[in-house]
Amino acid sequence: MLSRAHRYASAVLLIASSPLFSQTVRSYISTSDLSRALEAQPILSFAPASSPAPLTISVDESSRFQTMDGFGISMTEGSAWLLHERMPPAMSRDVMTKLFDPSSGIGLSFVRLPIGSTDLSLNHYSYDDMPAGQQDTELHHFSTTHDEAYVFPIMREALKLNPSITVMATPWSAPAWMKTHDSMIGGSLREEDMSAYAEYIVRSLQSFEKEGIPVKYLTVQNEPLHETEDFPGTLMLADQQKHLIGHYLGPDLRRMGLRTQVLAYDHNWDHPEYPLEVLSDPAAAPFMAGSALHCYGGEPTAQSVIHNKFPDKGIWMTECSGGTWQKKAPLEVTAHLLIDSTRNWAKAVALWGIVLDTDHNPHAGGCGTCRGLVTLDTNKMSVSYTGDFYALAQASKFVHPVATRIDSTSFGSDSLESVAFQNVDGSIALLVLNNRSDAATFDVSWRASTFHTSLPPGALATYMWSLKH
C-alpha cells in the first residue's frame, strides 16, 4: 500500500501533467502603516502568458523544499497572565480566537512553551525551587503547579482553537541548585547534575502531556551562548549540550517512551558552528530532529549553511522579537524575517511574546522594550494588534501545517521579495513584500500563464490560487 506521502506526490504529478487551468486569484494586503490590514483585494485572474514584465515572479511547484510546521509565538508566563488574569473573559476569548482559530482568526500553528520562567515572566521560578544551599537530586519537590493557574489553561485554549498547533518546549534555566553559583541568573549547569537536569526536563514534558499539552520538539537551553545578568539564563557550550543530549536526556526520553525530538542550539544565526558540532556528535545525533535559530545576530543564510551540512535535519526559527530599537515599520521587519527564514529552510517562524501592555510589561529583567503581537492598554482596557501580528497573519492564515515551500523568484531586499508554498490540498500561497520606495508593478507567472498586479511601498501581500478542471 502506498504511503500518504507517496499518494500525495503522485497526485501532485498528476495535477502537473493534466490539462488544468487555475481558478481566479484571491489576494490580501497589509501596508506598513496598517491603514490596510489583511484587507481582501479585487479578484485577479491568470491569462495566457505574453511578453514578461521586467519584474516577473515565477512560481514552480515542481521544485520543492521543506515542509512547514507553521508560524507562531512563545507562550510566556507574562502573556498568559495578561490573557487569563488581566483581560475581561470576553476580550481574552476574542484575542485568542483572532490568534489561533484557523477560520475566524489567523490560525497560528507553532507555540514555544517555556519550561519555567523567562524574562517575560512575573518573577523567576523553576519547577523545583529549593532554599539557597539545599539540593533535591531526587526531584522530590518537582512540581508544575505554578503554571496551572494561567499558563496551562491558556495553552489548552489555544490547542482547542487550533488542534494542529505544534508545541516546542524550552527551559531558560535549570533550577538554581543545579548550577555553578546557585542562581537561575547566569552561570552554568554543573557536570554532576546533568542526570538530574535530564530527569527534570523529562518530568516537565510528562507533566505538560498530562495537562493536555503534547510537546513535539524540545531544546535544552534558550540562548546557550548568552550568560544572563538579570533574568534566567545559562551558559552551555556545545560540548556540554551534546554530552547532555547524547548520554542523559536522549536515552531518558527513549526509556520513558516520549516521542519528543530534540533541537540543537536555540540561539542566533552568527554561530552556526554550534549546532553543527551538536548534530555531528554520534551519541547525540540519533535524538536530534535539527536546529533552532534566533534572529538577533548574524544572517539567515546561516540556516542554509547548516542545511547543506545536514540536509536530512530540519531548521526552525524559534525566536525573534520586535521592539523600540527597530527603525522600520514592524510589518516590514517581520515580513523580511518570514521570507528570509523560510527561503533558508525554516520549517517554522516564531516571534517572542504574544501580549504585552503599553509599558512593555510584564517582564522580570531582560527585555523591557520588546513588542508583542498584541498590546493591552490596561487604562482603557482595550487591545491593538501590531504589524508583527499582520505580517504573521499574511502567512499563517493561508499557509497551513504540512505545506511545502516551492520555488519562486525573489529580487532581493531593495526590490520585491517573495516566498511560495503549496498546501496539501494543492492550493498555492505566494507572499510578496515590496521593499522599494515606490509602488511596484509586476507579473506573477505560473505554468505559461500570468496575472498582473501592483503593491504599494512597504506592503506585504498574499496571493492564493487553487486548481480545477
Average pLDDT over residues 210-218: 98
Q: Is 5 within the bounds of a domain?
A: no
Q: Is 282 within the bounds of a domain?
A: yes
> pLDDT digits over 308-321, tens only?
999 999 999 999 99
Q: How many domains does the chain contain in total?
A: 2
- Say whether pLDDT at 20 is over 80: no
- Say whether pLDDT at 196 is over 80: yes
C-alpha span between 404 and 254 (Å, rounded): 29
Q: How many CB atoms lie within 10 A of CB 51?
A: 7
> pLDDT digits over 375-417, tens only?
999 999 999 999 999 999 999 999 999 999 999 999 999 999 9
Q: Is 427 within the bounds of a domain?
A: yes
- Say whether pLDDT at 260 is over 90: yes
The CA angle 315-30-90, to the nearest 5 degrees, is 85
The CATH code of the domain that includes 455 is 2.60.40.1180
The CATH code of the domain that includes 256 is 3.20.20.80
Question: pLDDT tier at 23 (50, 70, 90 boundaries)?
Answer: confident
Q: How many CB atoms lie within 10 A of CB 311?
A: 10
The pTM (predicted TM-score) of the whole model is 0.94
Do 90 and 226 fall within a single domain?
yes
Q: Which of 401, 421, 442 lies at the terminal end of a domain, its last residue?
A: 401
Do 85 and 177 fall within a single domain?
yes
Print the domain residue range for 148: 70-401
Do 433 and 380 fall within a single domain?
no
* pLDDT at site 101: 98
Average pLDDT over residues 222-239: 97
The CA angle 400-109-407, to the nearest 5 degrees, is 40
> pLDDT digits over 425-437, tens only?
999 999 999 999 9
* pLDDT at site 4: 45
Amino acid at 310: F
Can you say whether the dihedral through the CA atoms of 74, 76, 82, 83 is positive or negative? positive
C-alpha span between 425 and 446 (Å, rounded): 18
Please answer whether residues 266 and 170 qualify as being in contact, where contact means their C-beta atoms are separated by less than 8 angstroms: yes
Cell 539540593: give the residue: 135
Do 52 and 169 fall within a single domain?
no
The overall average pLDDT reported for the chain is: 94
C-alpha span between 266 and 287 (Å, rounded): 16
- Say whether pLDDT at 2 is over 70: no
Do 371 and 458 fall within a single domain?
no
Do 232 and 318 fall within a single domain?
yes
> pLDDT digits over 39-50, tens only?
999 999 999 988
C-alpha span between 428 and 72 (Å, rounded): 20
Q: Is 13 within the bounds of a domain?
A: no
Q: Which of 348, 371, 401 lies at the terminal end of a domain, its last residue?
A: 401
Question: pLDDT tier at 11 (50, 70, 90 boundaries)?
Answer: very low
DSSP element (H, E) containing 78: helix 77-81
* pLDDT at site 468: 63
C-alpha span between 229 and 367 (Å, rounded): 12
> pLDDT digits over 107-157, tens only?
999 999 999 999 999 999 999 999 999 999 999 999 999 999 999 999 999
- Say whether pLDDT at 27 is over 60: yes
Question: pLDDT tier at 342 (50, 70, 90 boundaries)?
Answer: very high
3-state secondary structure of 420: strand
- Say whether pLDDT at 422 is over 80: yes
Q: Is 9 within the bounds of a domain?
A: no
Do 63 and 74 fall within a single domain?
no
Q: Of the given ranges (51-55, 93-97, 186-190), which has the lowest mean pLDDT?
A: 51-55
Question: pLDDT tier at 54 (50, 70, 90 boundaries)?
Answer: confident
What separation in angstroms does the CA of 297 have from each of 120, 202, 225, 393?
20, 31, 12, 25
Q: Which of 348, 378, 401 lies at the terminal end of a domain, its last residue?
A: 401
Do 368 and 422 fall within a single domain?
no
Do 321 and 451 fall within a single domain?
no
3-state secondary structure of 218: strand
Do 437 and 335 fall within a single domain?
no
Q: Is 413 within the bounds of a domain?
A: yes
Q: Is 12 within the bounds of a domain?
A: no
DSSP letters for 106-157 = ----EEEEEES--SSSSS---SS---TT---TT-TT---GGGGTTHHHHHHH
Instruction: Name which of 197, 173, 195 is nearest 186 in CA terms.
Output: 173
C-alpha span between 112 and 101 (Å, rounded): 17
Instruction: Name which of 43, 33, 25 is nearest 387 in CA terms.
Output: 33
Q: Is 125 within the bounds of a domain?
A: yes
C-alpha span between 157 and 162 (Å, rounded): 9
CA end-to-end span of the chain, whole Å? 28
Instruction: Name which of 3, 122, 43 is nearest 361 in CA terms.
Output: 122
- Say whether pLDDT at 1 is over 80: no
Do 53 and 202 fall within a single domain?
no
Do 240 and 122 fall within a single domain?
yes
- Say whether pLDDT at 291 is over 80: yes
